[in-house]
Chains A and B, each alone.
Chain A
């Protein structure tokens, strides 16, 4: 504690330089935490899914529909408990700049299969009773300022035209990996307006036991093997993961950019520390003459680097944590549950420690090894 005054005086020697170095470290750690959170959010989304829910899609690809008549045959398969189905709608609202997901679902069975979507009972009943009703995610409702009972008109992209729905309910996910940035409406409404084609995008169904999932999935796919639309069945988790893979190797990209940012800032911080140490060669020599040991000077210089990097890191990581949570950030619904995790904060702290050592050790060693007589002779 007795050296705090000396440390503070040295940090305040070039206030602007110290603050800028600190700010650059803060910015680096903020970016690092943000980019890593993209990766952890995508990973969490790909991991979401009940082990007791399976998804069946067209074997040819997700964009190819399946006959809705498959529902009864799937329901009749041994081990299957509840069946529902959903279809990607692809609507947009207003100028279309704000992206969100819209699904046409078999409402009753869908809500039964997803107890993680919490809907007040009266709103749920109102939604089920209104064929043109819509269920809106809490976040999206807030974004557009909609309210229950209001009519909203979406422009269809896959299914052209204006589609008007009445907001009948609001769902709030109990699992933060579930997107609360979406619109759901009745599949029957879609089917009616599209000429009763009787097709859907995919089936979701509950099973009696997670252990039976491979057997049940295989049996269902075998049953449709020779039909006009063969199926592919897998766990809900692998279905979600297939969406995540659509991002390509985002994780590698994000991690690479994050590390590049940290490395760039490391050079800035190291340069600032070196410059600071070089300027103080004479003072280090004087302190040695007074009786400061090499070890103590090493610790003092390293403590300076530590204060700058740790404070900068705390600001950067803290800002990322607080800012994203306070603004309920989700990248326009693309990244539901976007929140800086404890592991990201931990890795960020390690990065800060690395920054401290990498930027502080060289000037600290230089100060410790400075030959007093030569340093004094240079200035005397």
Chain B
């Protein structure tokens, strides 16, 4: 069953009076519970596609539906509430708030819910436990390694139990060992917790973990590959 349905999406930007078309009639589905890697050269539209799915950006025309909700038609307020409940987002540069501890960073999405302090506390501990950082609750980002920071960011993305987890170059700033840890974690989130994962990456190792690889170039899918490596 498709969780994400993108239909005839056009997206263009204006830069210095020049119009740049990123997508011209893009359509695609992402199955629920799948692990999808979006690959392609810089400027191919990977991050833009991720932003459209997360409701951070709007298509010039066409529709984006996630879990039956038409994201592209929501107001800003509706989108904020929808994102809080349905989407977890992980950035290349971690983007943890430096003035908050690991616990407080992970708690942020829960502040938008009606959960009690005790329930929030419990969920944060579980999320940090899943990423293996339940002994770093009171640490500030500056006291963590890059890999640990990214794992805190992943805990923040999953703490509200969203259906969809979107990651933009999650291993781009990490060393090989930390990358492996993050990849193992993503695999676990997908297989054990059933999260639908969409990851933008340049890293073939990350892509190799995905069940499906989509290669974008100039806003068009040029190749799709399954986990077995065969073009489909």
Contacts and interface: CB of A to CB of B under 8 A. Distances in A.
B108 A380 contact: no
B104 A5 contact: yes
Contacts of B87: 291
Interface in B100-134: 100, 104, 108-109, 111-112, 117
Interface residues of B, number: 31
Interface string A268-302: 00000000000000110011111111111000000
B168 A290 contact: no
A13 B104 CA distance: 15
A107 B91 CA distance: 88
A289 B54 CA distance: 8
A12 interface: yes
B92 interface: yes
Task: Among A12, A288, A290, find the residue whose CB has the most chain B CB atoms closer than 10 A.
Answer: A290
A9 interface: yes
Given A372-B56, A380-B92, A291 B156 contact: no
Contacts of A291: 80-85, 87, 109, 112, 160
Contact of A289 (B83, B112, B160): B83
B203 to A, nearest CB: 16
A370 to B, nearest CB: 11
Nearest to A288: B80
A117 interface: no
A144 interface: no
A247 interface: no
Contacts of B47: 380
A373 B91 CA distance: 12
Contacts of B27: none
Contact of A373 (B57, B85, B93, B97): B57
Contacts of B57: 372-373
Contact of B77 (A5, A283, A286, A294): A294
Given A289-B56, A291-B85, A380 B80 contact: no
Interface in A161-183: none
Contacts of B54: 289
A373 to B, nearest CB: 5
A379 B93 contact: yes
Contact of B108 (A282, A287, A376, A379): A287
A352 B117 CA distance: 33
B48 to A, nearest CB: 8
Nearest to B48: A373
A197 B59 CA distance: 101
Given A9-B100, A373-B51, A290 B93 contact: no
A376 B80 contact: no
A290 B109 contact: yes
Contact of A9 (B80, B82, B91, B97): B97
Contact of B95 (A12, A13, A282, A294): A282
Interface string A1-44: 01101100110110000000000000000000000000000000
A283 B98 CA distance: 9
Contacts of B112: 290-292, 296
Contacts of B93: 379-380
A337 B180 CA distance: 76
A6 B103 CA distance: 12
B232 interface: no
A290 B108 contact: yes
Contact of B111 (A2, A13, A282, A283): A2
Interface string B55-66: 011000000000
B100 A286 contact: no
A146 B119 CA distance: 70
B76 interface: yes
Interface of B: 47, 51, 54, 56-57, 76-77, 80-85, 87, 89, 91-93, 95, 97, 99-100, 104, 108-109, 111-112, 117, 156, 160, 168
Q: Which 7 A-B residue pairings sit nearest by Cβ, starting from the closest?
A: A291-B84, A293-B80, A9-B99, A291-B83, A286-B95, A289-B89, A372-B56
22 contacts: A2-B117, A3-B111, A6-B100, A6-B108, A13-B99, A288-B80, A289-B54, A289-B83, A290-B89, A290-B108, A290-B109, A291-B80, A292-B84, A293-B77, A293-B80, A293-B81, A294-B76, A294-B77, A296-B112, A372-B56, A372-B57, A380-B93
Given A291-B83, A291-B85, A296-B112, 12 more contacts: A2-B111, A5-B104, A6-B100, A6-B108, A9-B100, A288-B80, A290-B108, A291-B80, A291-B82, A293-B76, A376-B56, A380-B93
Interface of A: 2-3, 5-6, 9-10, 12-13, 282-283, 286-296, 372-373, 376, 379-380
